Amino acid sequence: MKVFGVIGYPVSHSLSPVMHNAALRHLGISAVYGAFEVRPEELEAAISGVRALGIGGLSVTVPHKEAVMSFLDEIDPVAERIGAVNTVVNREGRLFGTNTDWLGVKRSLEEAGLELSGKRAVVVGAGGAARAVVYALRELGAEVEIYNRTVEKAERLARDFGGRAYPLSEIMRASGEIVIQTTSVGLKSRESPVPEEVFKNFRVAMDIVYVPLKTRFLVEAAAAGCKTIDGLKMLVYQGAEQFRLFTGYEPPVELMYEAALEVLRGKERDQAS
Protein backbone atom coordinates (compact mmCIF):
# COMPACT_ATOMS: atom_id res chain seq x y z
CA MET A 1 0.00 0.00 0.00
CA LYS A 2 1.31 3.41 -0.96
CA VAL A 3 1.46 6.22 1.59
CA PHE A 4 1.02 9.92 0.88
CA GLY A 5 0.57 12.80 3.29
CA VAL A 6 0.76 16.44 4.22
CA ILE A 7 3.51 17.99 6.34
CA GLY A 8 3.16 21.25 8.20
CA TYR A 9 3.23 22.81 11.67
CA PRO A 10 0.51 22.81 12.82
CA VAL A 11 -1.29 20.43 10.48
CA SER A 12 -4.25 18.95 12.39
CA HIS A 13 -6.63 21.46 10.76
CA SER A 14 -5.73 20.38 7.22
CA LEU A 15 -8.54 19.26 4.92
CA SER A 16 -6.09 17.52 2.57
CA PRO A 17 -6.47 14.04 4.16
CA VAL A 18 -10.26 14.26 3.78
CA MET A 19 -10.01 15.23 0.11
CA HIS A 20 -7.32 12.77 -0.91
CA ASN A 21 -8.66 9.78 0.99
CA ALA A 22 -12.14 10.32 -0.48
CA ALA A 23 -10.61 10.29 -3.96
CA LEU A 24 -8.44 7.22 -3.25
CA ARG A 25 -11.45 5.27 -1.96
CA HIS A 26 -13.63 6.37 -4.86
CA LEU A 27 -11.10 5.14 -7.43
CA GLY A 28 -10.24 1.96 -5.51
CA ILE A 29 -6.57 2.88 -5.21
CA SER A 30 -4.65 0.90 -2.57
CA ALA A 31 -3.14 3.89 -0.77
CA VAL A 32 -3.66 6.08 2.26
CA TYR A 33 -3.04 9.80 2.88
CA GLY A 34 -2.11 11.04 6.36
CA ALA A 35 -1.21 14.22 8.20
CA PHE A 36 2.30 14.52 9.62
CA GLU A 37 3.08 17.33 12.06
CA VAL A 38 6.69 18.34 11.46
CA ARG A 39 8.43 21.06 13.44
CA PRO A 40 10.77 23.31 11.46
CA GLU A 41 13.84 21.84 13.15
CA GLU A 42 12.68 18.32 12.19
CA LEU A 43 12.15 19.04 8.48
CA GLU A 44 15.42 17.60 7.18
CA ALA A 45 14.91 14.38 9.16
CA ALA A 46 11.32 14.14 7.93
CA ILE A 47 12.41 14.40 4.28
CA SER A 48 15.05 11.71 4.90
CA GLY A 49 12.21 9.60 6.29
CA VAL A 50 10.27 10.04 3.05
CA ARG A 51 13.18 8.47 1.17
CA ALA A 52 13.78 5.71 3.72
CA LEU A 53 10.12 4.70 4.02
CA GLY A 54 9.29 5.06 0.35
CA ILE A 55 6.47 7.54 0.96
CA GLY A 56 5.01 8.27 -2.47
CA GLY A 57 4.47 11.98 -2.14
CA LEU A 58 3.82 14.92 0.14
CA SER A 59 1.69 18.01 0.21
CA VAL A 60 3.70 20.76 1.91
CA THR A 61 2.04 23.53 3.89
CA VAL A 62 3.22 26.33 6.18
CA PRO A 63 5.87 26.87 7.41
CA HIS A 64 7.82 24.48 5.16
CA LYS A 65 7.11 25.59 1.57
CA GLU A 66 10.40 27.46 1.18
CA ALA A 67 12.66 25.52 3.55
CA VAL A 68 11.82 22.13 2.00
CA MET A 69 13.44 23.19 -1.27
CA SER A 70 16.92 22.72 0.24
CA PHE A 71 16.34 18.99 0.79
CA LEU A 72 15.00 17.96 -2.63
CA ASP A 73 16.80 16.45 -5.64
CA GLU A 74 15.00 18.45 -8.31
CA ILE A 75 12.68 21.47 -8.40
CA ASP A 76 10.68 22.46 -11.44
CA PRO A 77 11.24 25.93 -12.97
CA VAL A 78 7.81 27.27 -11.95
CA ALA A 79 8.34 26.39 -8.28
CA GLU A 80 11.81 27.95 -8.48
CA ARG A 81 10.30 31.15 -9.87
CA ILE A 82 7.52 31.29 -7.30
CA GLY A 83 10.07 30.49 -4.60
CA ALA A 84 8.00 27.80 -2.90
CA VAL A 85 7.24 24.08 -3.17
CA ASN A 86 3.88 22.72 -2.02
CA THR A 87 4.17 19.27 -3.63
CA VAL A 88 6.90 16.63 -3.37
CA VAL A 89 6.76 13.51 -5.57
CA ASN A 90 8.99 10.52 -4.81
CA ARG A 91 10.27 9.19 -8.14
CA GLU A 92 12.07 5.97 -7.21
CA GLY A 93 14.00 7.63 -4.41
CA ARG A 94 14.53 10.99 -6.11
CA LEU A 95 12.41 13.75 -4.63
CA PHE A 96 10.90 16.18 -7.13
CA GLY A 97 9.39 19.47 -5.96
CA THR A 98 6.72 21.48 -7.73
CA ASN A 99 4.04 24.05 -6.99
CA THR A 100 0.31 23.49 -7.62
CA ASP A 101 -0.92 26.47 -5.60
CA TRP A 102 -0.81 28.73 -8.64
CA LEU A 103 -2.83 26.18 -10.61
CA GLY A 104 -5.43 26.22 -7.82
CA VAL A 105 -5.73 29.98 -8.25
CA LYS A 106 -5.77 29.81 -12.06
CA ARG A 107 -8.47 27.13 -12.20
CA SER A 108 -10.62 28.91 -9.61
CA LEU A 109 -10.56 32.04 -11.76
CA GLU A 110 -11.19 30.14 -14.98
CA GLU A 111 -14.11 28.24 -13.42
CA ALA A 112 -15.64 31.59 -12.47
CA GLY A 113 -15.58 32.49 -16.15
CA LEU A 114 -13.10 35.34 -15.77
CA GLU A 115 -11.19 36.69 -18.75
CA LEU A 116 -8.32 38.63 -17.20
CA SER A 117 -6.07 39.30 -20.17
CA GLY A 118 -5.31 43.02 -20.15
CA LYS A 119 -7.54 43.55 -17.09
CA ARG A 120 -6.39 44.98 -13.77
CA ALA A 121 -6.19 42.61 -10.79
CA VAL A 122 -5.50 43.86 -7.27
CA VAL A 123 -3.75 41.62 -4.75
CA VAL A 124 -3.87 42.34 -1.02
CA GLY A 125 -0.78 41.01 0.75
CA ALA A 126 2.75 40.14 -0.39
CA GLY A 127 3.62 36.94 1.49
CA GLY A 128 4.24 33.42 0.21
CA ALA A 129 0.63 32.85 -0.86
CA ALA A 130 0.62 36.14 -2.78
CA ARG A 131 3.54 34.94 -4.91
CA ALA A 132 1.53 32.01 -6.28
CA VAL A 133 -1.49 34.29 -6.80
CA VAL A 134 0.49 36.94 -8.68
CA TYR A 135 2.19 34.28 -10.81
CA ALA A 136 -1.21 32.86 -11.79
CA LEU A 137 -2.60 36.31 -12.59
CA ARG A 138 0.38 37.14 -14.78
CA GLU A 139 0.00 33.78 -16.58
CA LEU A 140 -3.60 34.80 -17.32
CA GLY A 141 -2.39 38.10 -18.76
CA ALA A 142 -3.63 40.39 -15.99
CA GLU A 143 -2.08 43.71 -15.02
CA VAL A 144 -1.33 43.36 -11.31
CA GLU A 145 -1.31 45.87 -8.47
CA ILE A 146 -0.10 44.73 -5.04
CA TYR A 147 -1.10 46.42 -1.79
CA ASN A 148 0.71 45.51 1.42
CA ARG A 149 1.34 46.99 4.86
CA THR A 150 5.09 46.71 4.28
CA VAL A 151 5.40 48.33 0.87
CA GLU A 152 8.97 47.05 0.40
CA LYS A 153 7.66 43.46 0.24
CA ALA A 154 5.06 44.49 -2.32
CA GLU A 155 7.76 46.22 -4.38
CA ARG A 156 9.93 43.09 -4.32
CA LEU A 157 6.99 40.97 -5.50
CA ALA A 158 6.16 43.48 -8.24
CA ARG A 159 9.79 43.40 -9.43
CA ASP A 160 9.85 39.59 -9.49
CA PHE A 161 6.72 39.11 -11.58
CA GLY A 162 5.87 42.48 -13.07
CA GLY A 163 3.33 44.84 -11.57
CA ARG A 164 2.94 47.90 -9.39
CA ALA A 165 3.22 48.15 -5.62
CA TYR A 166 1.43 50.38 -3.14
CA PRO A 167 1.09 50.63 0.66
CA LEU A 168 -2.10 49.10 2.04
CA SER A 169 -3.00 52.53 3.43
CA GLU A 170 -3.79 53.56 -0.18
CA ILE A 171 -6.22 50.67 -0.84
CA MET A 172 -9.17 53.06 -1.19
CA ARG A 173 -7.79 54.18 -4.56
CA ALA A 174 -7.69 50.61 -5.89
CA SER A 175 -9.99 49.49 -8.70
CA GLY A 176 -10.11 46.75 -11.32
CA GLU A 177 -11.77 43.54 -12.47
CA ILE A 178 -10.89 41.50 -9.35
CA VAL A 179 -9.47 41.95 -5.85
CA ILE A 180 -7.81 38.93 -4.21
CA GLN A 181 -7.16 38.71 -0.46
CA THR A 182 -4.00 36.64 0.27
CA THR A 183 -3.23 37.45 3.90
CA SER A 184 -4.25 35.44 7.00
CA VAL A 185 -6.52 38.28 8.14
CA GLY A 186 -10.00 36.82 8.47
CA LEU A 187 -8.75 33.32 9.28
CA LYS A 188 -11.05 32.11 12.08
CA SER A 189 -12.00 35.73 12.79
CA ARG A 190 -14.47 38.37 11.61
CA GLU A 191 -11.87 40.78 10.29
CA SER A 192 -11.14 42.07 6.81
CA PRO A 193 -7.94 43.76 5.61
CA VAL A 194 -9.84 46.24 3.42
CA PRO A 195 -12.69 48.70 4.05
CA GLU A 196 -16.03 47.61 2.59
CA GLU A 197 -16.20 50.77 0.47
CA VAL A 198 -13.41 49.35 -1.72
CA PHE A 199 -15.61 46.64 -3.23
CA LYS A 200 -17.70 49.03 -5.29
CA ASN A 201 -14.60 49.44 -7.49
CA PHE A 202 -14.50 45.74 -8.45
CA ARG A 203 -16.62 43.14 -10.24
CA VAL A 204 -15.17 40.05 -8.51
CA ALA A 205 -13.60 39.33 -5.09
CA MET A 206 -11.64 36.24 -4.05
CA ASP A 207 -10.34 35.23 -0.62
CA ILE A 208 -7.80 32.42 -0.21
CA VAL A 209 -8.91 31.95 3.43
CA TYR A 210 -11.50 29.17 3.77
CA VAL A 211 -12.09 29.09 7.55
CA PRO A 212 -14.73 30.46 7.74
CA LEU A 213 -15.93 29.70 4.21
CA LYS A 214 -17.67 33.08 3.99
CA THR A 215 -15.14 35.50 5.42
CA ARG A 216 -16.07 39.07 6.28
CA PHE A 217 -14.11 40.08 3.16
CA LEU A 218 -16.41 37.95 0.96
CA VAL A 219 -19.61 38.88 2.81
CA GLU A 220 -18.92 42.59 2.34
CA ALA A 221 -17.88 42.04 -1.28
CA ALA A 222 -21.15 40.21 -2.03
CA ALA A 223 -23.15 42.97 -0.34
CA ALA A 224 -21.47 45.46 -2.69
CA GLY A 225 -22.54 43.40 -5.71
CA CYS A 226 -19.30 41.52 -6.39
CA LYS A 227 -19.20 37.95 -7.61
CA THR A 228 -17.26 36.02 -4.93
CA ILE A 229 -14.82 33.09 -5.02
CA ASP A 230 -14.04 31.31 -1.74
CA GLY A 231 -10.71 29.82 -0.70
CA LEU A 232 -11.94 26.24 -0.71
CA LYS A 233 -11.96 26.22 -4.51
CA MET A 234 -8.24 27.03 -4.62
CA LEU A 235 -7.50 24.38 -1.98
CA VAL A 236 -9.37 21.68 -3.88
CA TYR A 237 -7.95 22.52 -7.30
CA GLN A 238 -4.35 22.58 -6.07
CA GLY A 239 -5.02 19.30 -4.22
CA ALA A 240 -6.55 17.72 -7.31
CA GLU A 241 -3.41 18.49 -9.29
CA GLN A 242 -1.34 16.93 -6.48
CA PHE A 243 -3.53 13.82 -6.65
CA ARG A 244 -2.82 13.52 -10.38
CA LEU A 245 0.92 13.81 -9.75
CA PHE A 246 0.87 11.31 -6.87
CA THR A 247 -1.27 8.61 -8.50
CA GLY A 248 -1.34 9.19 -12.25
CA TYR A 249 -5.15 9.06 -12.10
CA GLU A 250 -7.60 11.76 -13.11
CA PRO A 251 -8.84 13.31 -9.84
CA PRO A 252 -12.58 13.28 -9.00
CA VAL A 253 -12.60 17.03 -8.34
CA GLU A 254 -16.27 17.43 -7.43
CA LEU A 255 -16.09 14.55 -4.94
CA MET A 256 -12.97 16.07 -3.34
CA TYR A 257 -14.74 19.42 -3.03
CA GLU A 258 -17.86 17.91 -1.47
CA ALA A 259 -15.80 15.87 1.03
CA ALA A 260 -13.88 18.96 2.16
CA LEU A 261 -17.04 21.10 2.24
CA GLU A 262 -18.88 18.58 4.42
CA VAL A 263 -16.11 18.59 7.03
CA LEU A 264 -15.76 22.36 6.91
CA ARG A 265 -19.49 22.92 7.42
CA GLY A 266 -19.48 20.40 10.28
CA LYS A 267 -16.72 22.36 12.02
CA GLU A 268 -18.61 25.62 11.53
CA ARG A 269 -21.77 24.06 12.99
CA ASP A 270 -19.80 22.80 16.01
CA GLN A 271 -18.34 26.26 16.63
CA ALA A 272 -21.77 27.89 16.34
CA SER A 273 -23.41 25.51 18.83
pLDDT, tens digit (0-9, with 9 covering 90-100), for 237-270: 999 999 999 999 999 999 999 999 999 998 877 7
- 137 pLDDT tier (thresholds 50, 70, 90): very high
Query: Which residues of the chain form CATH 3.40.50.720?
Result: 103-232
Please answer whether residues 71 and 47 qualify as being in contact, where contact means their C-beta atoms are separated by less than 8 angstroms.
Answer: yes
Please answer whether residues 125 and 183 qualify as being in contact, where contact means their C-beta atoms are separated by less than 8 angstroms.
Answer: yes
Report pLDDT for 266: 87
Superfamily of domain 103-232: NAD(P)-binding Rossmann-like Domain (3.40.50.720)
Instruction: Name the class of domain 2-99.
Output: alpha beta
Please answer whether residues 57 and 1 qualify as being in contact, where contact means their C-beta atoms are separated by less than 8 angstroms.
Answer: no
- 211 pLDDT tier (thresholds 50, 70, 90): confident
C-alpha 246/C-alpha 91 separation (Å) is 10
pLDDT top residue among 33 and 62: 33
pLDDT exceeds cutoff 70 at 273: no
pLDDT, tens digit (0-9, with 9 covering 90-100), for 185-209: 877 778 899 999 999 999 999 999 9
pLDDT exceeds cutoff 90 at 214: yes
C-alpha 197/C-alpha 138 separation (Å) is 26
C-alpha 60/C-alpha 177 separation (Å) is 31
Report pLDDT for 184: 86
Report pLDDT for 190: 84
C-alpha 62/C-alpha 187 separation (Å) is 14
Query: Which residues of the chain form CATH 3.40.50.10860?
Result: 2-99
Report pLDDT for 246: 98
- 89 pLDDT tier (thresholds 50, 70, 90): very high
Report pLDDT for 188: 74
List, by residue number, the catalytic residues. Answer: 65
C-alpha 209/C-alpha 198 separation (Å) is 19
Q: Looking at the whole model, is its pTM more than 0.85?
A: yes
